[in-house]
Amino acid sequence: MICKKCNNDESTVLLRKKDYYCEKCFINNTNHKFRACIGKNKLFSSQENVLVCLSGEEGSTVLLNLISNGLCLENHKKLRINPIFLHLYNNNDIAEKVIEDCKKHDFVVYVVNISDYMSTTIDLPEPNSLPKLNVGTNNTVNIFNNLPATAFNDMFIKIKRTLFIKYAKVLHCNFIFTAETTGSLASSLLSSIALGRGSQVEDDIGFIDNRDDIKIVRPMKDISKEELHFYIKIKKLNIQHHYDMKKNSLQVLINNFVSDLQENFPSTISTVCKTAEKLGVASDNADNESNHKCKICESVLNIPDGRLTALQATDFSRIVSLQKPSKINTHDKNVIKIVQENQHSMFPYISAAKCVKKKGEGVMKIGAVTEDASQNGMPYYDDPKRLGKGEKRQQS
């Protein structure tokens, strides 16, 4: 087959079932996509510190390679950033592989424990070494293990984001690179929507997450999974497969759905990603509302002019399912009042078990909310007996 770019007749890379490229042109093209993404947004000054977050998965392995290649280039083509690498420890094999990869390129990687999320102090670990396990804080993270699979996966993403920003500060980086590709962003978009996080897609899926002073950038957002796989094959990169997501969750279901689309309707994936970039938050003044964001997940909590939303309707369903018909005069036209009178049994926000409205030590509040809810025997996001409240779980 003949390369679309250079007419070389030894083209082995077939993209979108129709376009042939030779290996050289393909690699150039992928590099170009990566560089164009960073370049056209003119974010960085020269030798900017960038925290590059490596999960050890396919995307992050390619990102490491792209950066390393970029730094090796001569003069004006050289990638002018100063990368510092971070890996969140979740699995020993993966962590060791990430350290090894970084050492190969003479990079320094900090491996940080996930449970560090619960810690208020900061100890920067020794570079290029596995973190010491802190038994105390590790247990605290187990709270999240009791969440239903979907909520756990959602929380895990928020934990990672918080840690990225925390360590970017420690390491004096104003920018963070993460390795999401077109397919994974399409999955995230659909997951966000399915979890009621539609108002956050702009930051969660777009090129830049602008919510913090430290910007999270997704330089691989135009690279597809197909391209990722060819890149890995051609560059003979070593991949260690693992999967963070808990099964039987919406996220895994959606990932499978997106993989299917990718196979059969590849153009839909890019449509979905383009959609994400056109969406924002429906809030009166989204800009200066930092007081009204959830401290944990950054969900905007104040919806304009108190109009009826699915959230209120859900709250009402919960109340009304607990009230005897006789208790409320059904002829009372102000049946709405019962909502106000039953505030304590309501879950005001989309992930009520997790969302914290007040400012303060947001992180620790999670535990508090969890305990409160279970002590009161209140209908709770995570109560396994209450099918439909959160999600179905196996009843024992």
Partner 1 sequence: MPVPCRTGCGNNAVLKRPKTGDALCKECFYWAFETEIHYTITKGELFNKGDSVAIAASGGKDSTVLAYILKTLNTRYDYGLNLMLLSIDEGITGYRDDSLETVKQNRDDYEMPLKILSYKDLYGWTMDEIVAQIGRKNNCTFCGVFRRQALDRGAALLDVKCIATGHNADDIAETVLMNVLRGDIARLKRCTAISTGSEGTIPRVKPLKYTYEKEIVMYAHYKKLVYFSTECVFAPNAYRGHARALLKDMERIRPTCIMDIIYSGETMSVKEQVSLPSQRICSRCNFVSSQEVCKACVLLEGLNKGLPKLGIGKTSKAKKMLEAYNARQMQENSLEQATDLEDTSKSIKDNIKDASNKCNSKNCCSGKCKSDASKQQNGNAKINKLLEQYGLDESPSSQKLNGDLSDDECSGGCGNSSSMPIGF
Q: Which of 208, 232, 239, 311 binds partner 1 (CB under 8 A)?
A: 311
210 lines the binding site for partner 1 (CB under 8 A):
no
The total number of residues shown for the chain amounts to: 396
160 lines the binding site for partner 1 (CB under 8 A):
no
Nearest approach, Cβ of 373 to partner 1 (angstroms)? 16
199 lines the binding site for partner 1 (CB under 8 A):
yes
Number of residues that bind partner 1 (CB under 8 A): 68
Backbone angles phi, psi at 15, to 5 degrees: -110, 145
Contact partner at residue 296 from partner 1, Zn ion, none, CB < 5 to 8 Å by partner kind: Zn ion
287 lines the binding site for partner 1 (CB under 8 A):
no
Exposure of 13 in the CB half-sphere (CA atoms within 13 A): 25
How far apart CA 221 and CA 206 sit, in angstroms, is 8
280 lines the binding site for partner 1 (CB under 8 A):
yes
Nearest approach, Cβ of 375 to partner 1 (angstroms)? 20
296 lines the binding site for Zn ion (CB under 5 A):
yes
CB 96 within 8 A of CB 130: yes
Contact partner at residue 254 from Zn ion, partner 1, none, CB < 5 to 8 Å by partner kind: partner 1
Which residues have a Cβ under 8 Å from the Cβ of 338 and sit 6 or more positions away? 319, 320, 323, 328
| Residue labelled with tokens 């920003």 | 165
Nearest approach, Cβ of 159 to partner 1 (angstroms)? 20
299 lines the binding site for Zn ion (CB under 5 A):
yes
Name residue 100's amino acid: E
Exposure string over 200-215, b if 16+ CB within 10 A, otherwise e = bbbbbbbbbbebbebb
Nearest by Cα to 162 from 207, 191, 122, 202: 122
Q: Which of 13, 20, 22, 117 binds Zn ion (CB under 5 A)?
A: 22
Nearest approach, Cβ of 130 to partner 1 (angstroms)? 35
When the beta carbons of 113 and 199 are compared against partner 1, the nearer one is 199
153 lines the binding site for partner 1 (CB under 8 A):
no
Nearest approach, Cβ of 14 to Zn ion (angstroms)? 13
Helix (H) or strand (E) holding 89: strand 81-89
Instruction: 29-35: list long-range contacts, CB under 8 Å, 24+ apart.
Output: 29/5, 30/66, 30/223, 30/227, 30/231, 31/66, 31/69, 31/70, 33/220, 33/222, 33/223, 34/66, 34/70, 34/219, 34/220, 34/223, 35/70, 35/79
Could you list the residues that contact Zn ion (CB under 5 A)? 3, 5-6, 8, 22, 25, 294, 296-297, 299, 355
Could you list the residues that contact partner 1 (CB under 8 A)? 148, 150, 189-190, 192-199, 201-202, 248-250, 253-254, 257, 261, 265, 268, 271-272, 274-275, 278-283, 300, 303, 307-314, 316-318, 320-326, 330-331, 333, 335-336, 339, 350, 379, 386-392
